[in-house]
Structure formats: C-alpha cells, structure tokens
Amino acid sequence: MSSHGPATPMTARKSGPLKGTADVPGDKSISHRSLILGALTVGETKISGLLEGQDVLDTAKAMRAFGAEVIEHGGGDWTVHGVGVGGFSEPEDVIDCGNSGTGVRLIMGTMATTPITATFTGDASLRKRPMGRITDPLSLFGCQAVGREGGRLPMTLVGAADPVPVTYTLPMASAQVKSAVLLAGLNAPGQTVVIEKEPTRDHTERMLAGFGAEITVEDTDEGRVVTLTGRPELKPQTIAVPRDPSSAAFPVCAALIVEGSDVLVPNIGLNPTRAGLYTTLKEMGADLTFENERTEGGEPVADLRARFSPDMKGIEVPPERAPSMIDEYPILSVVASFASGKTVMKGVKELRVKESDRIDAMARGLEACGVTIEEDEDTLIVHGMGPGGVPGGATAEARLDHRIAMSFLCCGMASEKPIGVDDSGPIATSFPIFEPLMGTLGAQLVRSNR
C-alpha cells in the first residue's frame, strides 16, 4: 500500500498498573525472510507465527508477483510454493513495498541476479529513503538501476543476465544491505563474500544455512566475514517465527515506567544481534528477568518479565551496541525520560534514515512533552525527569513511523498529562494488535486528539 488512508489520531493517558501477559506478534525481520527464502525453494515451505503486519503482507504480495504461490491459512500459518533460486519471473506491474525498507531492499537483492526487469515504489516515507546503499553493491553483480534523484524510489532494476560473484565490505552497519548482497549472491556462480565491521542482525545467514545453502561466518580482524556459495538448491523448510523483540520492547518499556506494573512477554526471540535494548535496560537498573531460556528453530528464545522500575539511572550507551538495538532507540529515549540523570546515545546516525529521521522525531516530540534533549548528527542525549516526572500534554508527529507512534503512546501511559500522536495508522505495519493488547494490560488509549 502506498498510503494507509485518513490519519487516526490516538491519545494515551496516565494508566493504572499494567498487568498480565503480552503475546506480541511474530518477528518482522524473520517473517520477511521466511517468505523470500520460501519463494526461492522448489516445494512447500510452512510458516507459523508469521507477522501479519502490512510490511510483511506487502512482501507476500511481491513474492506472488515474482511467481511464487503464497497462501494464507489463518492465525499466522502460511505456505509458500517457491520457484527455485534464479526462478523469479518478471512482474506485470510495479512492486509496491508500502512502508517497508526491509521488504524493498531484500527483494531488490533477490531479483538483481535474474534477467528480469522490475519497478519498485512505496509510501511517502519509503520514497524518501536512500536506495543507493543497495544498488551500489548490486551493480557489482551486473544489475542496473535507474531511480529518482538521490537514488530514491520509484526505481527500476534490470537484473544481471550473467551475474558475477562479489566481495563487498559494508560501508555502514546494515543488515538490509548485507542481506541484499547475500540474496543476490544466491544466483551468482562461485563465492559471494560480505564483510561487516560491526555485527548486524544475522537472520539471513542463519536462515540460509537452515534452507541448505553453503554459508560460513568467520570473525576476523577485519570484522565478520560471511561467505556464500552461489547457486545452491534450497530445500523447503518448516519455520516457527519467534515473537519480535522489537515489538516486545513496547509493553516491556511501558511496564518499566508505569507505576505498579508487572508484565510477562512470552517467547521472545533473543538473538544477540537483536537484544541490545535489554542489556541497556539492565544497565539502567530495570527490573527485567528472563525466564525459560531455550533455543527454538535455531534462534535463542525466552519469556521476559518486566516490573515497574522507579530506580532507573541514565547511562551512556556504547556506540558499538547500536546495530543490536537500532530500532529500539525511540522507546529507549522514552524510558530515559523517566530515569534519573542523563542517557547518552552515541553512534546513532543510522536513525536519521529509518522510516523517519528518528533522532529529530523523538527530540521534537519529547521536547514538546517537557523533556530536555541534546542532539547532533550522530548523538541523542535525554535528560531524565525521574519516575512519573514527564509533564506530557502534547501531540507528537508520528511521521509515518510505527515506532515513533508507539513510543509516544507508551510515554503518555506514564506522563502527568496525556500524550497524543497525530496518526496511529503506521502501527499496523509491525504491531497490528498494539491497541487491543496494550488495552488488555490496562493502558488507557483512546482514538482521538487529546
């Protein structure tokens, strides 16, 4: 979808204790990859627990457009009958990835080494985001791309007829770029190598190995070196998608700042390349416990219990932790507003090219709520006001960004006066049940301006 219809303002009021169990939806990153890799096998891949958020639904639609059979069975159960590596057919129409940077970038990578032409677009947020970071490495395989100024969507890709394998060092910490290169490498003969200085989420590597590709990961002085042997025959899989630690962050963080709360969030994926927020919260003094730690489908999983934590202190979050919590800085800046002392987040410039400029969106919204903020290109500093200390009484702009909308709504559950967001619609991209789920826990959310 290129837009989600009229804006739906929403307001959160100071809420009583949040109590109960929060069954958050499936992991967004793993859901996209399950559909894409399923589309590259011959045979039936079965997926349970798929996130049925708009971002993933747009990827499902795209996989159909490239020739795969993607069937929804209800309750998060899906099957994919794929076309095999290099088997994508040319789509008849433009591929609309809606709000999803992950969707468009991974799909561009996947088609880049197949001799077909496809045109991609997205909503107003996605059309502003840089695609040169994807098309630069894809051109090394022999793929051509023509887009708008600054490498923006809409953009047409002509896949390489005779792809060559590539060795590529990531210029920025990005799992999307790494994944696009690996997915392109699937249909190139020989070995494709990606080198990353800082480890980013590794779901693509884990899943490629699970589907039977030959892939190795080595930690070296240069960084992590991922080597993929091209043209494998991928074998269909049965995938149970773990629940999303990035979505879990909202009920967990809301419980930490709302007085008297005690919330259990079961079955959360805790892949170390994703779990940086939880390390940070522990360092701040959050009352967070991990129960039933186990491994499911190759991913570490646990049940998380979060209780109201009135003694949290601001800390300095080390920049090297950024890739493992990149989507969690907006909600961390809310928690930091209710801690005592200042929280310094360095090495976060990638936040400027997410669904919105997340440093600017959080800084302006929190300032409107009475919080003192400092920022520069690569840094966000929040001066905490202590438990219950945020005045609130403002409406924040969601800027077509689900995580900005959810962060301000969680903030409003603990601030003195209500906090509104001008549009809660984007929440459906990743957490379509946010409103009823938070309501069941005791959050006071209403669909209106303050």
Closer CB to ligand S3P, 111 or 369, in the complex: 111
106 vs 97: CA distance, rounded Å: 11
β-sheet bridge partners, residue 21: 264
> Other C-beta atoms within 10 Å of 408: how many?
33
Closer CB to ligand S3P, 326 or 445, in the complex: 326
Shortest separation between residue 108's beta carbon and ligand S3P, angstroms: 13
Closer CB to ligand S3P, 175 or 304, in the complex: 175
Quote the tokens at residue 23.
């069954």
Per-residue contact track with ligand S3P, 97 to 116, x per CB under 6 A? -----x--------------
Shortest separation between residue 174's beta carbon and ligand S3P, angstroms: 3
Q: What's the Cα-to-Cα distance from 290 to each of 111, 169, 267, 274, rounded to whole Å?
A: 40, 35, 10, 15
Shortest separation between residue 59's beta carbon and ligand S3P, angstroms: 11
Shortest separation between residue 208's beta carbon and ligand S3P, angstroms: 13
133 is an annotated ligand-binding site residue: no
274 counts as binding ligand S3P under rule CB under 6 A: no
> Other C-beta atoms within 10 Å of 353: how many?
16
144 is an annotated ligand-binding site residue: no
Segment 294 to 353, residues that bind ligand S3P, using CB under 6 A? 326-327, 350
Sign of the Cα torsion 49, 55, 56, 57 reads: positive
346 is an annotated ligand-binding site residue: no
Q: What's the Cα-to-Cα distance from 190 to each of 164, 204, 227, 230, rounded to whole Å?
A: 8, 19, 10, 5
- What phi and psi, each to the nearest 5 degrees, are found at residue 303? -100, 135
Confirm if 332 and 276 have CB atoms less than 8 A apart.
no
Shortest separation between residue 304's beta carbon and ligand S3P, angstroms: 20
84 vs 236: CA distance, rounded Å: 10
Tokens 């789920």 appear where? Answer: 437
3-state secondary structure labels for all residues of 193-251: EEEECCCCCCHHHHHHHHCCCCEEEEEECCEEEEEEECCCCCCCCEEECCECHHHHHHH
> With contacts defined by CB under 6 A, how many residues of the chain interact with ligand S3P?
10
Closer CB to ligand S3P, 28 or 305, in the complex: 28
298 is an annotated ligand-binding site residue: no
357 counts as binding ligand S3P under rule CB under 6 A: no
Closer CB to ligand S3P, 175 or 361, in the complex: 175
206 vs 39: CA distance, rounded Å: 17
Confirm if 252 and 306 have CB atoms less than 8 A apart.
yes
358 is an annotated ligand-binding site residue: yes
With CB under 6 A as the contact rule, the residue among 85, 135, 199, 201 that binds ligand S3P is: 201
416 vs 414: CA distance, rounded Å: 7
Shortest separation between residue 354's beta carbon and ligand S3P, angstroms: 6
Closer CB to ligand S3P, 128 or 231, in the complex: 128
261 is an annotated ligand-binding site residue: no
Quote the tokens at residue 152.
């923006």
The DSSP code sequence of 162-188 is: S----EEE-SS--HHHHHHHHHHHTTS
Shortest separation between residue 237's beta carbon and ligand S3P, angstroms: 18
Cβ-based neighbours of 74, under 8 Å, separated by 6 or more: none
- Whether 327 sits among the annotated catalytic residues: the reply is yes
15 is an annotated ligand-binding site residue: no
Segment 19 to 58, residues that bind ligand S3P, using CB under 6 A? 29
The DSSP code sequence of 214-227 is: -EEEEEETTEEEEE
294 is an annotated ligand-binding site residue: no
Shortest separation between residue 201's beta carbon and ligand S3P, angstroms: 6
Give the DSSP H or E segment for 58. helix 54-65
Confirm if 88 and 116 have CB atoms less than 8 A apart.
yes
354 is an annotated ligand-binding site residue: yes
Query: Which residue among the candidates 244, 327, 401, 423 is catalytic per the annotation?
Result: 327
Per-residue contact track with ligand S3P, 150 to 189, x per CB under 6 A? ------------------------xxx--x----------
Closer CB to ligand S3P, 29 or 187, in the complex: 29
424 vs 443: CA distance, rounded Å: 15
327 is an annotated ligand-binding site residue: yes
Closer CB to ligand S3P, 4 or 354, in the complex: 354
Which amino acids are annotated as binding site for phosphoenolpyruvate, given as ranges? 28, 101, 129, 176, 358, 403
Q: Contact positions toward ligand S3P, by CB under 6 A?
A: 29, 102, 174-176, 179, 201, 326-327, 350
Residues that are catalytic: 327
Binding site residues for 3-phosphoshikimate, as ranges? 28-29, 33, 174, 176, 327, 354
- Annotation: binding site: 28-29, 33, 101, 129, 174, 176, 327, 354, 358, 403
